[in-house]
């Protein structure tokens, strides 16, 4: 029982891209003269501080909003302090990752650019800016900037990780493999590195390897004393992989573990709600999804809730939540610059309206990132718009890595059926249901019905 394709798309940014664990920014990644200056600055602060919570201790030991407040005050007093501006920018990135507040990435970008306006060659600010740009789906800009940093400072593993992350999003899988291999050699088997290798394994159709890597990463993060929020992220990723692979028991264990560690981790709550709904525990699923909607009003939770309501024969109530989700996505695009083109395209297809806009949104998404899910989104939008021949050409690109995602094959099956290719359609639909008979509350039923219809027609011709 995998996440519904649209919900999976919404959660992918959190699970697989911008929220990938950050690599540590060790002192050795700074040029010696910059590190010496930073050490001197921290020594002055420690000497003058009456509190143990001086700036040298912000790495997860101070709540992020308190740290941001400290550094805002510091930067206001020291308007040329580019190092403090850089730390403030890094804190905004941390805030965005911990809360899902994507507008914080814009604040990070603005602050880091101010730091670079004072010190254009400050590599730490450049490396962090690349992270902020990537989180805003400006992958080509992020790749270019991270590459510049890495050329100038080949021991900057954060820049190297950003390069690999961008390559994944741009569909450059072979290049990403090479980059992550170099990252493993330079940074070692850290949780952040292992999580990236797991993402690569999952995309290449090896979910078992992904699980093993993520479990190792989770154990290491826990043993290293990382924050509950950080450890919960690994549990959430493990749950998502198990969920897609159809292992409901393990998925549930890890969703629950994530929520025990961090009760505010709403994507885990939404994932658990969908998992329960897929297996018929509707009342508990509705409770969880309503809790999530009330907690942060995310479009992901609203759409998940609407899916369950629709399945339960409550279309009018479901329509209200679909409408509100669409409003939220559009508002976030306008106010925070969040890249929701993919999400909106899939929502329009789900609802069967604004299909020309769905195609346009999918094409915009494909311009910013050329991964398999960008091709899947465009293929699905074209199919729903009646452009089946075009859809067939695009869906092949979505399948090229051999990713074991039932939704990809569900889409491919319906596209083949629309192109009068019944045998290929049967093959894809069988594959989807074999991997996970409960791959989506609404979609799995449609897949079974279409497969039954196609097999009956094929049998009648024998």
pLDDT tens profile 280-299: 999 999 999 999 999 988 99
How many whole angstroms separate alpha carbon 85 and alpha carbon 178? Answer: 33
Fold of 338-461: 1.25.40
How many whole angstroms separate alpha carbon 412 and alpha carbon 194? Answer: 31
How many whole angstroms separate alpha carbon 22 and alpha carbon 13? Answer: 14
> What pLDDT does residue 33 have?
46
Model confidence at 130: pLDDT above 80: yes
The string of pLDDT tens digits covering residues 103-124 is 899 999 999 999 999 999 999 9
Orientation of helix 388-398 relative to helix 406-418, angle to 10°: 150
The string of pLDDT tens digits covering residues 213-229 is 999 999 999 999 999 99
The string of pLDDT tens digits covering residues 54-100 is 333 444 457 889 999 999 999 999 999 999 999 999 999 999 888 77
What pTM was computed for the model?
Answer: 0.87
Model confidence at 42: pLDDT above 60: no
Model confidence at 46: pLDDT above 50: no
The tokens for 97 are: 């990752």
Flag the least confident range among 8-22, 63-77, 223-237: 8-22
What's the whole-number mean pLDDT along residues 170-198? 97
The string of pLDDT tens digits covering residues 372-388 is 999 999 999 999 999 99
How many whole angstroms separate alpha carbon 183 and alpha carbon 135? Answer: 20
The string of pLDDT tens digits covering residues 364-420 is 999 999 999 999 999 999 999 999 999 999 999 999 999 999 999 999 999 999 999
SS3 of the chain: the string is CCCCHHHHHHHHHHHHCCCCCCCCCCHHHCCHHHHHHHHHHHHHHHHHCCCCCCHHHCCCCCCHHHHHHHHHHHHHHCCCCHHHHHHHHHHHHHHHHHHCCCHHHHHHHHHHHHHHHHCCCCHHHHHHHHHHHHHCCCHHHHHHHHHHHHHHCCCCHHHHHHHHHHHHHCCCHHHHHHHHHHHHHHHCCCHHHHHHHHHHHHHCCCHHHHHHHHHHHHHHHHHCCCCHHHHHHHHHHHHHHHHHHCCHHHHHHHHHHHHHHCCCCHHHHHHHHHHHHHCCCHHHHHHHHHHHHHHHCCHHHHHHHHHHHHHCCCHHHHHHHHHHHHHHHHHHHHHCCCCCHHHHHHHHHHHCCCHHHHHHHHHHHHHHCCCHHHHHHHHHHHHHCCCHHHHHHHHHHHCCCCCCCHHHHHHHHHHHHHCCCHHHHHHHHHHHHHHCCCCCCCHHHHHHHHHHHHHHHHHHHC
Flag the least confident range among 38-52, 157-171, 318-332, 348-362: 38-52
Which residue from 242, 234, 296, 249 is spatially nearest to 270, judged by alpha carbons?
A: 296
């Amino acid at each position: 029982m995998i996440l519904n394709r649209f919900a999976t798309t919404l959660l992918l940014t959190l699970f697989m891209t911008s929220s990938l664990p950050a690599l540590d920014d060790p002192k050795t990644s700074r040029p010696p003269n910059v590190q010496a200056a930073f050490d001197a600055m921290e020594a002055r602060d420690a000497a003058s501080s009456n509190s143990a919570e001086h700036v040298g201790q912000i790495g997860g030991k101070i709540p992020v909003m308190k740290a941001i407040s400290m550094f805002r005050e510091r930067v206001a007093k020291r308007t040329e302090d580019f190092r403090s501006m850089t730390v403030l920018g890094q804190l905004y990135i941390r805030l965005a990752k911990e809360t899902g507040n994507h507008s914080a990435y814009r604040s990070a970008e603005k602050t880091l650019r101010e730091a670079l306006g004072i010190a254009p060659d400050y590599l730490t600010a450049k490396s962090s800016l690349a992270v902020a740009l990537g989180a805003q789906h400006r992958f080509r800009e992020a790749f270019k900037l991270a590459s510049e940093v890495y050329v100038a400072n080949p021991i900057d593993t954060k820049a190297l990780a950003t390069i690999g992350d961008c390559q994944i999003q741009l569909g450059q899988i072979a290049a990403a493999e090479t980059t992550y291999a170099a990252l493993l050699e330079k940074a070692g088997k850290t949780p952040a590195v292992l999580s990236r290798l797991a993402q690569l394994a999952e995309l290449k159709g090896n979910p078992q390897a992904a699980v093993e890597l993520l479990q190792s990463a989770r154990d290491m993060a826990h043993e290293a004393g990382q924050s509950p929020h950080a450890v919960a992220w690994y549990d959430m990723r493990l749950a998502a992989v198990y969920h897609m692979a159809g292992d409901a028991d393990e998925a549930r264990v890890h969703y629950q573990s994530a929520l025990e560690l961090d009760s505010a981790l709403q994507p885990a709550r939404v994932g658990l709600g969908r998992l329960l709904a897929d297996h018929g525990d509707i009342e508990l699923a509705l409770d969880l999804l309503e809790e999530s909607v009330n907690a942060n009003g995310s479009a992901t939770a609203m759409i998940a809730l609407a899916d369950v309501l629709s399945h339960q024969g409550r279309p009018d109530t479901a329509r209200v939540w679909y409408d509100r989700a669409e409003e939220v996505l559009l508002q976030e695009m306008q106010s925070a610059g969040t890249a929701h083109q993919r999400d909106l395209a899939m929502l329009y297809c789900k609802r069967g309206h604004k299909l020309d806009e769905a195609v346009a949104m999918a094409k915009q998404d494909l311009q910013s990132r050329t991964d398999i899910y960008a091709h899947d989104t465009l293929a699905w939008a074209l199919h729903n718009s009646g452009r089946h021949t075009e859809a067939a050409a695009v869906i092949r690109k979505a399948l090229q890595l051999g990713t074991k995602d039932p939704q990809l094959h569900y889409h491919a099956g319906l596209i083949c059926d629309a192109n009068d290719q019944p045998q290929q359609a049967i093959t894809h639909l069988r594959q989807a249901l074999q991997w996970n008979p409960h791959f989506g509350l609404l979609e799995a039923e449609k897949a079974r019905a279409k497969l039954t219809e196609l097999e009956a027609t094929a049998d009648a011709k024998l």
